[in-house]
Structure 1
């Protein structure tokens, strides 16, 4: 049983931040400001990661909350890269897990470049390091569009694209992995964002009703 107040907070995150076009260019900053204002009692630490060093450099340059928001260049599919960055960050703050992890527009790229096994491994590993997970799966039509864009640029095709077995119903496949293999419970699915995608909110089954209630106080 999930606390109604926490589910209400998740809906506020969606309506106030994640579906607000003015926040899309600086989503992490907007998310930090929302959490500080609504639920964190003035204390919140956020680690934002991306594999693209240019995007990380741009985010660092525009960061207005440098004491509380950190950006790192991390390959989340690399066990060593991920563990070094995440574990070091968690130890610095005296934690063993993140309270919540947001995965925006990332599952398709991991899937295209690392295949079914790579996507499953990523989701399994990230679930071991968080209590809550927000995931934004790109639907199958986004895969086909990415494939067409690559061909138009003369880049051929994604090598693993033909061998993907999770196709057509990728969102349902990701949900099955999270619920059946990772033992996470889906507590909320939003309507479509301005990117025409849904966000799904999951929690680990180790989070009790009492834990959820405390997080909202």
Structure 2
């Protein structure tokens, strides 16, 4: 469902091709995991009090799983790279609506005992709720300890409208204790719409009627803090594509 090239004329270079839901093939060849991981401390789990217990991580819109696996290893300080059995109990569930991308993720998964990839659409409320509740329930938990959502919000917003954008944020907040969010800035919306038009495809159904515009990270923060009982605890700065990484905590 998601999305390193030098930050030169980003609007023309990022996310090449047509993928109306952000499900780009070979996405990580032009936006490799290091773009985000360079900003996220390896000690993140310890920093938020999750260093010595079982940790459940959810990656929303995992694409082909490259970033999911890299994040898993990053948060384990690469201890997983030399062993099939990491010293800490960290389990990651990644999902995406594109079944072909999920198949690629499953086939290349180096840690199937700790990482699982499944096809799932976050906007399918009933099914996604049931699947995710079942997953955490297997561990005797009510929700994930950490949820990551990298460059997904725009695609839900463009394809389903303002209400769906806010609903997505509310759902993410309900699923986890901590939320690491990367919301695409408004210029990415314009770029995505322009790419479709250049390829002779119809515009996104909701693009011209969206009322939530401008500083999308600020809009997301406002909703999460005012409507979802979450609070911003840290900003990790901006990626090379000028997208902020924001960490929220359940109050």
| TM-score range for the pair, normalised by the shorter chain length | 0.7 to 0.9
Which residue of 155, 165, 182 maps to 1:136? 182
Which residue of 95, 111, 123 maps to 1:77? 123
**Higher helix content, 1 or 2:** 1
- Residue 28 (str. 1) matches residue 54 (str. 2): no
Residue 26 of structure 1 and its aligned partner are, at CA, apart by 1.5
- Residue 119 (str. 1) matches residue 165 (str. 2): yes
Aligned-residue RMSD, C-alpha: 2.3
Residue 16 of structure 1 and its aligned partner are, at CA, apart by 5.6
1:57 aligned counterpart, secondary structure: helix
- Residue 68 (str. 1) matches residue 114 (str. 2): yes
Residue 85 of structure 1 and its aligned partner are, at CA, apart by 1.7
- Residue 56 (str. 1) matches residue 102 (str. 2): yes
Instruction: Tell me if structure 2 keeps the 8 A contact 1:135–1:200.
Output: yes
Residue in 2 aligned with 1:156?
A: 202
How many aligned residue pairs are there? 189
Residue 81 of structure 1 and its aligned partner are, at CA, apart by 2.1
- The unaligned stretches of length 5 or more in structure 2 are 1-36, 44-63, 80-85
Residue in 2 aligned with 1:90?
A: 136
- The unaligned stretches of length 5 or more in structure 1 are 1-10, 18-23, 206-217
Residue 93 of structure 1 and its aligned partner are, at CA, apart by 1.6
Change in CA separation of 1:187 and 1:38 when aligned onto 2, cut-off 3 Å = farther
Residue 159 of structure 1 and its aligned partner are, at CA, apart by 1.1
Change in CA separation of 1:121 and 1:37 when aligned onto 2, cut-off 3 Å = same
Instruction: Tell me if structure 1 keeps the 8 A contact 2:65–2:102.
Output: no
Residue 164 of structure 1 and its aligned partner are, at CA, apart by 0.6
Normalising by structure 1, report the TM-score: 0.81
Instruction: Tell me if structure 2 keeps the 8 A contact 1:44–1:68.
Output: yes
Instruction: Tell me if structure 2 keeps the 8 A contact 1:13–1:34.
Output: no
